[in-house]
A and B are shown apart, each in its own frame.
Chain A
Amino acid sequence: MQPDRGGLTEADKKLAGGLTEAEAIAQAQTGNAEAFEALYNLHKRRVYSLCLRMTGNVTTAEDLTQEAFLQLFRKIGTFRGESAFSTWLHRMTVNVVLMQLRKKGLPVVSLEEPVDGDEDSPKRDVGGDDLRLSGAIDRVQLQRAIGALPPGYRTVFVLHDVEGLEHNEIAQQIGCSIGNSKSQLHKARMKLRELLKQRAGTAK
Chain B
Amino acid sequence: MITAGVDIGSLTGKALILEDNNIVAWSLIPTNPDSSVTVQRAMDAALEKAHMSLDDLDYVVSTGYGRLVVPFAQRNVTEISCHAKGAHWFFPEVRTILDMGGQDCKAIRCDDTGKVTNFAMNDKCAAGAGRSMEVMADLLQVPLDDLGELSLQIVDAMVPISNTCVVFAKSEALSHLRRGKHRSDILAGVCEALATRVHSLMQRVGIESEFVISGGIAKNIGIVKRLTDKTGLTPRISFEPQVVGALGAALFAQESLRREQQA
Chains A and B are bound partners = no
- Interface residues of chain A, those whose CB is within 8 Å of chain B, are none
- Interface residues of chain B, those whose CB is within 8 Å of chain A, are none
